[in-house]
Amino acid sequence: MRLPQFGIFAQGTVAHEFIEFDVRAGVDKAEAGRLITQLEQPAVSAGGVNLVLAFGPDLWRRLAPDELPAGLGPFREVIGLGGKGAPSTQHDAFVWISGSTRDIVFEQSRAAVKAVADVAVVATEQACFVHRDSRDLLGFIDGTKNPPVLEAPLAALVPAGEPGAGGSHVLVMRWIHDLALFETLPVSEQERVFGRTKSDSVEFSNEEKPATAHIARVEIEDEHGEELQIYRRSVPYMRLAEHGLYFVAFAAEPIRFERMLQRMFGLADGQRDRLTDFSRPVSGALYFAPPLTLLGLKEETLHEREEVLRGIPLFATCSAHDLTSIASRVQTREYPAGATLCTQGQPGDGFFVIVDGRAEARRDGSVLRSMGPGDFFGEIALIDEGPRTATVTSSTPLRCLMIGSSEFRDVLGQNADIAVRILDAVTRRLRGMLPPIDQG
């Protein structure tokens, strides 16, 4: 089984940076690509930060000629009805970094650019954010047509047995909104543009939905009448002079993107998406996000992590499949004696399990507990999304496994036994803080 890049499906991050790279003139593309794959290593993919790495068709062809998924090719310009369309602005590589805070994402984005500076230059960059309850700047909730997270891999990933299996085709487009023009419409007319209600995102019935409604234009089916889905991860960007949506979507085959764009711009049946009267794309590129195995996270590396996890009581009852999944999400961290791993009152961005060494947890300067191999900490801030409840420092040289915040929630959602063990440990700690009950 090939593991996909988990950042494709990671939820809960609010800060995003999208970077497109071009290989420097005179640099061998295959060599450049091999260096770019190192961005997937923990030195850049740090605590609480997700990194998705994708390659343009030409660069991926140089890197892995035996793993070319069907239909792989550059974005082709779309020339639609009424002068509407989408330009092609294809580049060599695409990096999406997301995290819990803007400062962390900025730092990791700088690290990524620095890591590949000798072989690649930044072609475009765009900082984005989550707006209110995942709404586009036009005021409608974005991504409501997405499949549930557990079903998303079927829509997003190349099927097993095919070249590039476990990877995903990525469509990247930057759209500029004309908010002033859209806001001249009454809400009822805005809803007809989208084909659903604005406040609670209820889709109109087929009888109510105009043929030019956005939802109607992006629905496509296979030859059996089954809907073909994509997995959208779009987020808004905002400057006073220019604002809109950074559209990012993943699919098992690129033809799905092509068919949707043909329908949006009136090339399929002469009906154009009315949303294109209020928003226009100024970029368009296709990339391939390979599975982790093809990025260099080799089986022996996974096996080593699995063996470490297997020796920790918290993971003792995990199946082999679960251990493989968790091993691909954890990062090994080493600290000298006296290092601060967590600071009381600061945001939490990781869950830690001690492999070797000892550490102390303190609150307001008082020692709460001493911890050694097999002990874990950092879970409370990730569960309630509040600040750290204690400061943790290493008493000796320390080696830990660290799981980022979104990966931590994924692990709990997929393994109830781990969730119960963590809950049991938290309960025992809380009970230990309470004064004894007087039985007299």
Q: Of 22, 66, 103, 142, which one is the catalytic site residue?
A: 142
Assess whether 142 carries a catalytic annotation: yes
Q: Which two tokens stand for residue 394?
A: 């290493």
83 residue type, one letter = G
Q: Which two tokens stand for residue 427?
A: 């309960």
Q: Tell me whether residue 2 is exposed, middle or buried, using C-beta atoms within 10 angstroms of its C-beta: 0 to 12, 13 to 18, 19 or more.
A: middle
Q: How far apart are CA 191 and CA 141, in angstroms?
A: 12
Q: Mention every residue, 6+ apart, whose C-beta is less than 8 A from residue 318.
A: 309, 310, 326, 415, 417, 418
DSSP 121-158: EEEEEEEEE--TTTB-TTSSBS-TTPPPTTTHHHHHSP
User: How many other CB atoms are there within 10 angstroms of residue 154's CB atom?
Assistant: 12
Which helix H or strand E contains 288, and what residues bound it?
strand 285-289
Q: Mention every residue, 6+ apart, whose C-beta is less than 8 A from residue 241.
A: none
Q: Which two tokens stand for residue 13?
A: 């991050």
Helix axes 299-310, 320-327, angle to 10 degrees: 110
Nearest 10 degrees: CA dihedral of 206, 279, 19, 387?
-70
- Between the alpha carbon of residue 424 and those of residues 65, 171, 231, 257, 419, the distances in Å are 50, 44, 36, 47, 9
What are the backbone angles phi and psi of residue 319, rounded to the nearest 5°? Answer: -70, 165
Active-site residue set: 142
